[in-house]
Amino acid sequence: MLDCRAVILLWLLPWATWGLAVPRSSSPDWAQCQQLSRNLCALAWNAHAPAGPMDLLREEEDEETKNNVPRIQCGDGCDPQGLKDNSQFCLRRIRQGLVFYKHLLDSDIFSGDPALLQDSPVEQLHTSLRSLSQLLQPEDQHWETQQMPSLGPSQQWQRPLLRSKILRNLQAFVAIAARVFAHGAATLTESP
* Summary count for the chain: helices (H), strands (E): 7, 0
Q: Which DSSP string do the residues of 111-157 spell out, in sequence order?
A: TT-GGGSTTSHHHHHHHHHHHHHHHTS-TT-----S-----PPPPTT
Phi, psi dihedral angles at 61 (to 5 degrees): -90, 130
Of the listed ranges 14-18, 95-99, 164-168, 174-178, the least confidently predicted one is 14-18
Residues 6+ apart with CB under 8 A from 153: 108
CA angle 78, 83, 89 (to 5 degrees): 65
Overall pTM surpassing 0.85 (yes/no): no
- Give the tens place of pLDDT for each residue, 22-48: 344 467 899 999 999 999 999 998 887
Residue 56 has pLDDT above 50, yes or no: no
| Among 4-13, 150-159, 179-188, the range of highest mean pLDDT | 179-188
The count of other CB atoms within 10 Å of the CB of residue 117 is: 9
Q: Which domains does the chain have, with CATH numbers?
A: 28-50+61-187 (1.20.1250.10)
Of the listed ranges 58-62, 70-74, 133-137, the least confidently predicted one is 58-62
Give the confidence band of 129 by pLDDT, cuts at 50, 70, 90: very high
CA distance 77 to 85: 9
The count of other CB atoms within 10 Å of the CB of residue 109 is: 21
- Give the tens place of pLDDT for each residue, 86-123: 899 999 999 999 999 998 988 888 876 665 666 778 88
Give the confidence band of 142 by pLDDT, cuts at 50, 70, 90: low
pLDDT of residue 4: 40
